[in-house]
Structure 1
């Protein structure tokens, strides 16, 4: 009997050990040997040591993590392969049933990739992956102390014009992500609130896969912010101060420029907490020269009203942010974020107008007058955001992520337009006051599931987006005048947007070929209610958005990639709002409640070459655009132009994007980027019921260059230039735009403290830099305006780092609240 019990116990122990032996797991995190950044989508294959038989394999996740399960006791070799890196083989011995944790596993870049370094820090400046280009933010010294826009404008396919409008490959519409989270707001406003010092990398996703929102005709820009890399406390602080202006535009006030930001990170065990805050005051002095005429064919007259005078900006923004990540175990992770901030901008335009009316045919003068127009436009916004994310990893290593984001934005402002006598400016001819309130509330809920299937990864998900906007717009004129359409200038506009979307995609690697293919479906509704129109303006959309990306590794230094994606450029509420705003004396601004979104087909073919002294890439691309959104002019009155949004029939763009990172010698590095494209807009154009045919095309190019010289161990100097050529618009063209900068940097305390002197908008009295002329014309009008912005600006920046900052911080980001700013 005792023998029988012993045999039973022995058998149970044997089977228990056998079962456990089938479930041993190997895990770890794969990182770059130099940058310590996680490497995603790397191939991990486990081979039997005896005969090299493959017994398991996975692709690394977004944080570089990997796990291979259901293994037996034995001797193995882990083979790690990743394009641009040297293959690595790691012996793995499984002697018992315990989990084998390899910890952080490093992978060494190839000799070609290693040459893409910054001379002062040794980090990779730029890299090209299957669906994106990635650039290190701190390589641009002239951007220190500024905003994300100051970093972004240096990238090869990015251009920023004199009005701060950002374009990617010539297109102004693109989606902004911050640490992978979508932001539906106006890009200029969102990026201007992110301190440049808090950025780690900027990623250009020019051919996005199906898991991303299809918003943005130019693709996606992902901003990756910093956080602590090591356990314990990490602190970084920056301060900026502007020196007195070197140029005088006879403005009423001297510009003020100062600011600072601080980020504190605590990382220990299961917690990762970041808090930060920033303040930036960045005024700009300037001048404006304008010339306009309108033709009245009914009265047979032509009215000219040239103007010149001050055009300056007072600008500041501040924000506080908090994020916390809690991982109680390997299968569960929670993250929460909070952001609260404010942005303020006041634009002052004090102009002297010289108006004259003449006979259209004979040119005989009829009347003339001179007056002074003081126009003050203020825009303010307070933003509060919160997000909550939860990720669960199942036993089969599949994962489910749920994400919820809420935003409340209170946008408000006004325009004060005073027409005064001249030179006696105490005499008020007319005063127009346009105040508005525009509160916004919105939600976003996402579910994403990912699982390894075969040699790749399958991902699928659902997303619901909902936002409301209730604008109230007023219009007061003193002294009161008889204006038949005055009721159109005041009222309410309420918009509701809902979007349901589902997607699936598969990504993987087969020998030298990487691929990502997927399909996204969206059902979207738009409702716009106007106080003076009983009819509801509705739009329902049901669309498919396919995508495909391929990358072929010809050899260690040469890659070929191709991509296709379908995109949508949605209308924002500013473009839809038909209630006119008296922008300034000569202009009314209004939208179109029935404006259609644009649909875009993006195609690209690229080549990347790494070599001993650096790297080079080139990309051919093509965009086919249906219903491109245009901002055009029409005549409202003899001295007032109406600027409206409308759809053209079609547009297309094809071009070539180039970029190079070079290090000819140890003390000199050079970064070059360029973009040249041909843009054409054509077809019928409807402007407030009046139709016309347009056909405008031209070549456009931009150049961004950045060069650094290491003078000694602690001294360096850097120069950069951003140049944008003249470019066509629906009714005219915009002139070239040039901005050169120089920065001198001194480091102390083994690099933990640095001081930088920046010379921005260099001009030296040549009257070439930081100015732009915008010209539009039609059958009954012509307008050209030269905007002259401040040049030769000097700033001092001070930075202190208690510990190294790197990686991704999951801070909450604005979904839509800045759209109308």
Structure 2
């Protein structure tokens, strides 16, 4: 009896289990990107109730984009939604939940609107066009292995970086560089700080040739906005990169993120050592005295650097987010160099000597930032954002220059220099955005920027067995600038047509003083900067954009400070405390085309600049002295072409071409600088997918000759080459890159007039880099920085 009862009870439970199993339904599928056919890992798959739209059950896709969802009796009769950041949500209404089903391959389409706020990390760099900017999404390009931000910028369409590290946009050096939309000590050219940002830290770079009134008016050429990566997945995620190279280029970088419902903790830290040798050749000839001085040598900039970033986003609630972050970087510089000189009189060698430099410097820099963002209940785009940013950069540098005569009786005085430099910057911003309807958006805000700089510079010369201060070359230069700006914009945007108007007003107060000689310079001025942007979409394959903006380039410390650069005492640089700002008016029309597997973007632009700042050289006693001055006007009309073509799944071509014709008018010390000329450059990158997860990348670039205010700069062509191997489904990536394969990236400038001849030639040479990176972590994708979840 007992056994029969037990058997009956067991049979009853087995029947219930079998019935439950019969009533449960399995739905599966694979989610891929529409454009690339790549899997979309950790996409959210949710089954929603058809009547209430409430979630019934859900899951996430695995690393291969696959998902399986179990539907029981209580969950039947729903519909499926698949979503992932940066993509349009896919909804499947006609879903059969009565039986097991395999939905096969499902494709998610990129959402251009969402990509304004978050960009998915790509294997290959790509360019997107927005209403007022171009967005260069930094992929895992092989040529960028171990590269600094300056080298990444040199791969961005319309941007060039010369051997001195000077950044230009469409041939114009008046560029404002921002980090995450704000001025930053990390973007200060004077501190070489961009060298501490590595390619794996960068998410994207925005090229803004006609910025709206929301942005600073600084930069006549426009703005380059470097957006650093911040992980957005829930849970613990991160990456490690390790690079080594010849000449010395060694670095280690770690990025970590821990995301919870309330907090997003993030950090990046790393360090490295690099050597940047540069070969220089110069010639100075005085036709009146028939004397010449030749120099040839190698300069080094050896850098040991460390940096760490710490920060957290605190989600107070769904509508309020507080972000606090800080960055600290430290550089140790060693700059040994030797330059050999020879002096001729009437083509007869008179003397030879060499000049050796020993320079040591330490550069501490830090930055801290507080952000508060509030969203309003009526619309997640209705926001109020306040930010306060402070930064500091210091330099303690000592240099010694020893001269040794090897032939003849020329006397060169040995010299020492000592620099104590400090720069403190503070930026306060308040931005308000209100989309008052689906087609009308209003923006308003204000900004206050304080720049406080001191540069104590001392020169000593060795005389009669002791070091004596040279009072003519020694001074303490102080620079203080305050800029207060307010702006307002209004945008009207429908499906086909959009218009955005804006006005920015900035009040500038600049004061410089040479404390030892009590020389003061004060400038105060108020400017109005109107902006206009418009777009029209003819169809899905063709649209047009137009823009106008007025901009300003304010002289910076190194433009104003009358200090000497002694690395070569026959070619020295001097600042100009009386330098005035330059202004530009920029007009641009862009067409965006799509032809099957190809995209093409063309721009025609006109840039008119007044009070142009140019570096002009004067010549005396075989010494070339270069100083910035305001020289007349420059009108440039140009044409730009960017394109991408993928004829096969394993083959992609990316190219860009930029041409501009310019007319200069101006004079300096009775010398006319009226002339015209043209300048162009082209770049082509070919990416080839090879078997066994190997990729090949080749980039060729050409820079044309062009005229300068006193002479010309010669053109050159160069090539970069790289190979990449992906391991463990792309989690591990190994790169080998060769930059300037043929050692042909040579910068040459010539000044040739009736009184003198000046020739300068510089080159870096070939670089080899081997890189290794590993990404880890997984979790549900979440939207970044306070957007509702």
Residue in 1 that maps onto 2:776: 802
Report the count of equivalent residues. Answer: 683
1:136 aligns with 2:137: yes
**CA positional deviation for 1:719:** 0.9
Change (3 A) 1:186 1:440: closer
Question: CA–CA distance in 1 between the matches of 2:704 and 2:332?
Answer: 31
Name 1:762's counterpart in structure 2. Answer: 741
Verify: 1:449 aligned to 2:437, yes or no: no
**Distance in 2, Cα, partners of 1:648 & 1:662:** 43
RMSD: 3.3
CA distance in 2, matches of 1:808, 1:577: 46
Instruction: Kindly indicate whether the alpha-carbon contact (under 8 Å) linking 1:415 and 1:582 is maintained by their aligned counterparts in 2.
Output: no
The answer for the alignment partner of 1:222 in structure 2 is 225
Match for 1:262 among 254, 268, 275? Answer: 254
Structure 2 length as normaliser, TM-score?
A: 0.81
Distance, in Å, in 1 between the alignment partners of 2:643 and 2:487 is: 35
1:343 match: 331
Residue of structure 2 equivalent to 1:158 = 159
Query: How big is each residue's C-alpha offset from its partner over 1:97-139, in whole Å with a ceiling of 9 and x where there is no partner?
Result: xxxxxxxxx973599x99xxx9x96778221111111122125
Deviation at 1:376, TM superposition (A): 4.2
Contact 2:184 2:391 (C-alpha < 8 Å) held by counterparts:
no
**Counterpart residue number, 2:265:** 273
Aligned counterpart, 2:730: 751
Q: Separation in 2 of the partners of 1:280 and 1:724?
A: 31
Measured against aligned partners, the alpha-carbon deviations of 1:730-771 in whole angstroms (never above 9, x if no partner) come to 2112222333111111111111001111122101xxxx6122
Q: Does 1:238 align with 2:205?
A: no
Alignment of 1:379-390 (within 5 A): 380-390=362-372
Do the aligned residues in 1 keep the contact of 2:123 with 2:140 (CA within 8 Å)?
A: no
* Shift in CA distance, 601/499, structure 1 to aligned 2, threshold 3 Å: same
Distance in 2 of aligned mates of 1:807 and 1:346: 44
Instruction: Give the drift of 1:804.
Output: 6.9
1:179, distance to aligned residue in structure 2 (A): 2.0
SS at match of 1:673: strand
| 2:351 equivalent in structure 1 | 369
Deviation at 1:377, TM superposition (A): 4.9
Distance in 2 separating the partners of 1:620 and 1:558: 16
Pairing 1:591-602 to 2, within 5 Å after superposition: 591-602=575-586
In 2 relative to 1, CA 807–599 (structure 1 residues): closer, same or farther, beyond 3 Å? farther
Residues 595-620 of structure 1 deviation map (CA, whole Å, 9 limit, x = unaligned)? 00110111100100122212110101
With CA pairs under 8 Å and 6+ residues apart, which has the higher RCO, 1 or 2? 1
- Asked whether the equivalents of residues 720 and 737 of structure 2 are also in contact (C-alpha less than 8 Å), the reply is yes
C-alpha change, 1:657 and 1:481, in structure 2 (3 Å) is farther
Matches within 5 A, 1:590-629: 590-629=574-613
Which residue, 178, 193, 205 being the options, matches 2:196? 193
Matched residue SS, 1:488: coil
Classify 1:122/1:377 alpha carbon distance in 2 versus 1 (closer, same or farther; 3 Å). closer
Q: Say if 2:307 is the partner of 1:307.
A: no
Tell me how far apart the structure 1 counterparts of residues 715 and 465 of structure 2 sit (CA, whole Å): 41
Between the aligned partners of 1:460 and 1:420, the Cα distance in structure 2 is 63
User: What are the Cα deviations for residues 622-659 of structure 1, in whole angstroms up to 9, with x where unaligned?
Assistant: 11001111111112x41322111111111122111111
Flag the 1:110–1:415 CA change in 2: closer, same or farther, 3 A. closer
Please tell me whether residue 208 in structure 1 is matched to residue 211 in structure 2.
yes
State the partner residue of 1:488. Answer: 472
Aligned to 1:8: none
Q: CA deviation at 1:789?
A: 2.2
Q: Deviation digits for residues 532-578 of structure 1, max 9, x if unmatched?
A: 44352011110000101111111011110100000111111111012
Structure-1 residue corresponding to 2:696: 717
Change in Cα spacing, 1:435 to 1:697, as seen in structure 2 (3 Å) is farther
CA shift in 2, pair 1:753/1:110, >3 Å: closer
Tell me if structure 1 keeps the 8 A contact 2:277–2:299: yes
Once the two structures are overlaid, the 10-residue window that deviates more, 778-787 or 697-706, is 778-787
Q: How does 1:436-585 map to 2 (within 5 A)?
A: 436-454=419-437, 455-479=439-463, 486-585=470-569
1:302 offset after TM fit, Å? 2.9
Encode CA deviations 1:675-733: one digit per residue, 9 max, x unaligned: 11123332122xxxx44221233211111221111112511111112321122222112
The match for 2:344 among 344, 356, 375 is: 356
Q: 1:340 to 1:492 in 2, by over 3 A?
A: same
In structure 2, C-alpha distance between the alignment counterparts of 1:386 and 1:809, rounded to whole Å: 20
Instruction: Write the distance in 2 (CA, Å) between the matches of 1:202 and 1:257.
Output: 23
Query: Residue 324 in 1 paired to residue 316 in 2?
Result: no
Aligned partner of 1:57 in structure 2 is none
C-alpha separation in 2, matches of 1:604 and 1:663: 28
Q: In the TM superposition, what whole-angstrom CA distance separates every residue of 1:780-799 from its partner, at most 9, and x where no partner exists? A: 332102213222x3221101
1:138 partner SS: coil
What are the Cα deviations for residues 199-254 of structure 1, in whole angstroms up to 9, with x where unaligned? 122211111100000111111112122222321011101001125xxxxxxxxxxx
SS of residue matched to 1:669:
strand
Give the aligned partner of residue 290 of structure 1: 282
2:751 maps to 776
Structure 1 Cα separation of the partners of residues 784 and 390 of structure 2? 18
The 2-side partners of 1:702 and 1:778 are apart by 27
Residue 643 (structure 1) aligned with residue 643 (structure 2): no
Q: Is contact 2:651–2:689 with CA below 8 Å preserved after alignment?
A: yes
Alignment map for 1:674-693 (pairs within 5 Å): 674-685=657-668, 690-693=669-672
Shift of 1:581: 3.7
How high is the TM-score relative to the length of structure 1? 0.78
Q: Measure, in 2, the Cα distance between the counterparts of 1:218 and 1:180.
A: 17
